[in-house]
Chain A
């Protein structure tokens, strides 16, 4: 039978419908489609896809189970190496990882590995009757700082080996960026809490409202009997451009805008936490976070949302699928533009006018692309005299974050690099004995799956360290 050259389409909510609600955009495969898609896998010998996966899921093996409609079996294979399958199936950039290595992909479209992973995980979550079993304790205690993707992965891997793991979370809900950052329409919060519950049934305990570095220090964790600590505290301080007007009312960091909507549920009808809705919104930046912020603003009721990015579509760092979704929903892409000033309203007659100090526009300059920089990306250069003004009510700065300094400031001997990232070796070990780190706290803003990979590496190293002690 000839192979279907195309991946089975992921059914989605229609763009004009989903642009006004917060329900998940991608609806997931049906059972029949999942089996058909699984059958596209050639089950080739050298399995290049596994190499492409930061947590090395045995992809051909789980797909083989799916061909036989053994979805629970497929899930069990995935969960051997991944602690968050339902999350990864949704937010991993498969096109640059497993799927770009797929042998089928040399001639045709690669197998929809991410979509199959999502199906298996959702199948398990809907059908599994028994909670995961807690393995027998090996008597060792490990503390994890932060309940984002790296921390949860590290916690899950260690718990499966019998470690007594406690995860400390600064916010009031576990999940880190999966909860405060990635919006409901891309990753429903119920899925995150289900994954956290699975870890809890493996014996992981989660303590919220604890800011390690403030409430408890890393050194105190050792005094409390933990034998190793993993720091997965995530990206911290949001970056701003340093242009005039960034403190006007209506200018947000993407972190703040998304946290208000996601974690604090400002998207609901009568929220306790306010957010500026409606009007014209400009999102500055071109990453996945910028796409999330733009699409959130649209769903909150904005009449017009624009991505303002200084390079061209080719250099846009966001996942292609997210860019396409955003375009379908009507987000405008103002490429090769860079803001130089945010303009505020000021009534010259009335210093008490309530509109004073709110954003009313943004001045930008047009850019062209010059020679490639050290990373190989063509450098954007302003075109003199090309400034123009655009009318906006809200500006969301999504130009990256730098690691949070709270832990570094209170942990003696913990070395960080020039940008504030914790320095680690190939095992995730920091400059302090028994202290490991991974995720954005090390690398600065990166992907969920690379953080999970780092959590996994560290879990392996922690296990080797504690069993060898």
Chain B
């Protein structure tokens, strides 16, 4: 069992927890992920590491409540425990030779983008960050991004906070104005990452994207997380759990990844509704 040490609501559907997992805390690097199970017989879900404290032996995760498992996790409190917590899995984000980086986070993807930005900042790189949210009440980690970025641009889809529009608008403005980066790192919804790639393409700037496909074991055994990449004109298959989760954005088949991500959407919606109803009932009974 793995104890939840702290719990904090970052916005109504995004929650931050620190979990006691000393071995993982000692090793985890920005860009890597963990897999957890909330309780026995629960499903295994991957979550990218949002930070860790090797001294305290804790790993920070930030998750959005999107389904049955995250709904159950939301109902756990500091002091409670979860069944399983394994990691760090995947390959850490590459930082070598990158002096000027643009980090783009979308929604809860900002939770993963933040430690990456912090790491570049700590290495002395120049960090420009662009974060995007649907609306003001969903904004997270604004101060953290400000603290580690030379320039920090916040966007909301509805214009209720920061600038109105999506993250590719300021990116395109900067690139049009002649600004250049050694690397753009985009972490967020697949559609956002796809459009970041399209925005950067005419300027020939490398883009790294962080993929979060459906997976089970996270060690390369099941192959469920496979992605199709196009490299030198040839299609190749890679596993996000062992080869990723970071990939060259120009190589990724986003449309296929989006389609595969919806494989169980019916099942997931029903499971989520059932779980919510269950918690409502227990709430009423109490």
Residues of A within 8 A of B (CB): 170-172, 180, 208-211, 214-216, 234-238, 240, 242, 246-247, 249-250, 252-253, 255-256, 259-260, 263-265, 270, 272-274, 354, 356-357, 404-406
Contact = CB atoms under 8 A, between A and B. Distances in A.
B86 A170 contact: yes
Report, nearest first, the 4 A-B pairs whose CB atoms are least far apart.
A357-B259, A256-B222, A209-B86, A253-B223
B271 interface: yes
A211 B221 contact: no
B87 interface: yes
A252 B43 CA distance: 18
Given A209-B84, A247-B237, A215 B217 contact: no
A210 B267 contact: no
B242 A405 contact: yes
B124 interface: no
Interface in B218-270: 219-224, 226-228, 237, 239, 242, 253, 256, 259-260, 262-268
B228 A236 contact: no
Nearest to A239: B223
Given A247-B226, A253-B223, A172 B87 contact: no
Given A214-B89, A264-B216, A237 B42 contact: no
Contacts of B74: none
Given A247-B256, A272-B42, A356-B259, A210 B86 contact: yes
B60 interface: no
B85 interface: yes
Interface of B: 23-24, 27, 37, 41-44, 68-69, 83-89, 216-217, 219-224, 226-228, 237, 239, 242, 253, 256, 259-260, 262-268, 271, 274
B246 to A, nearest CB: 16
Nearest to B216: A259
9 contacts: A172-B44, A214-B27, A215-B24, A240-B237, A249-B262, A250-B263, A272-B68, A274-B267, A405-B220
A242 B234 CA distance: 12
Contacts of B259: 249, 356-357
A236 B68 CA distance: 29
Contacts of B237: 240, 242, 246-247
Contacts, number: 114
A328 to B, nearest CB: 29
B217 A237 contact: no
A236 B42 contact: no
Nearest to B258: A357
Nearest to A240: B237
Contact of B23 (A208, A216, A260, A264): A216
Contacts of A180: 217, 221
Contacts of B216: 256, 259-260, 263-264, 273
Nearest to A237: B220
B239 A237 contact: yes
Given A215-B86, A246-B237, A272-B43, A252 B224 contact: yes
A165 to B, nearest CB: 19
B114 to A, nearest CB: 23
Given A247-B260, A272-B41, A272-B68, A255 B268 contact: no
Contacts of A240: 223, 226, 237
Contact of A259 (B86, B221, B226, B228): B221
Given A214-B27, A272-B42, A357-B259, A171 B242 contact: no
B228 A247 contact: yes
A211 B223 CA distance: 17
B219 A236 contact: yes
A172 B43 CA distance: 11
Contacts of A404: 219-221
**Most chain B CB neighbours (cut-off 10 Å) among A210, A214, A249, A263:** A214
B260 A406 contact: no
B69 A272 contact: yes
Given A210-B23, A274-B264, A274-B268, A256 B86 contact: no
Contact of B222 (A208, A214, A238, A247): A238
Given A208-B84, A405-B242, A255 B263 contact: no
B206 to A, nearest CB: 24
B260 A249 contact: yes
A406 B256 contact: no
B89 A264 contact: no
A234 B224 CA distance: 18
A235 B242 CA distance: 14
B43 A273 contact: yes
Contacts of A235: 221
B69 A214 contact: no
Contact of A238 (B27, B221, B267, B268): B221
Nearest to A401: B221
A180 B37 CA distance: 16
Given A216-B23, A247-B260, A272-B68, A255 B223 contact: yes
Given A215-B24, A247-B228, A272-B41, A253 B86 contact: no
Contacts of B239: 237
Nearest to A255: B222
B43 A170 contact: no
A183 to B, nearest CB: 16
Nearest to A242: B237
A22 to B, nearest CB: 15
